[in-house]
Amino acid sequence: MYNTTKGDFLKEFDEVVVPPSVDKGVRLANYLIDYILSYLFGFLVALCLVLSVSAINPYFGTRLLDDEGTLNLLGYLFFLGIRPLYYVLLEGLTKGRTVGKLVTATVAIRTDGKPLEWGNVFARAYSRIVPFETFSGLGQAPWHDQWSNTTVVYKADLMTL
């Protein structure tokens, strides 16, 4: 007869197995690729907005360009909102992938090994606008990973689990 009172013999099935996080060099490559593409995305969205508004009111742009301070503030606020939108759309719709992650064959997952949910995606995206968040990656895990309970792993490592 088996003694099941000493311990749970199915305990190993409860353990969460998460592949190791990618190294800082891969994270830097992801960051640089996505940084450039998020600004390109922002430029294209801004261009579409400017063309649309100019078609409706041709004088809107000339009045806006007269005040350089307002134009700079609007540009800053616009790109502050566009960068998170880039990440929300890509990571949300592709379950943790961005163009940078596609190039490096990596994926963002939750720390419990499961795919990202929309809450994780929003937390990752909007924590990136915190000042100096970029430099948090020089330590252990970047703030956007810590605050959203996520990590970035190689896609191939996920497939072998």
Q: Is residue 54 part of a domain?
A: yes
Mean pLDDT of 99-107: 97
Higher pLDDT, 13 or 99: 99
Among 7-11, 37-41, 79-83, 98-102, which stretch is predicted with the lowest mean pLDDT?
7-11
pLDDT band with cut points at 50, 70 and 90 for residue 61: low
Per-residue confidence (pLDDT) for residue 12, from 0 to 100: 60
Helix (H) or strand (E) run with residue 150 in it? strand 150-154
Q: Is residue 12 part of a domain?
A: no
Domain that includes residue 47, residue range: 22-159
- The tally of domains found in the chain comes to 1
Per-residue confidence (pLDDT) for residue 7, from 0 to 100: 61
Per-residue confidence (pLDDT) for residue 13, from 0 to 100: 60
Phi, psi of 132 (to 5 degrees): 70, 10
Residue pair 11/136 in contact (Cβ under 8 Å)? The answer is no
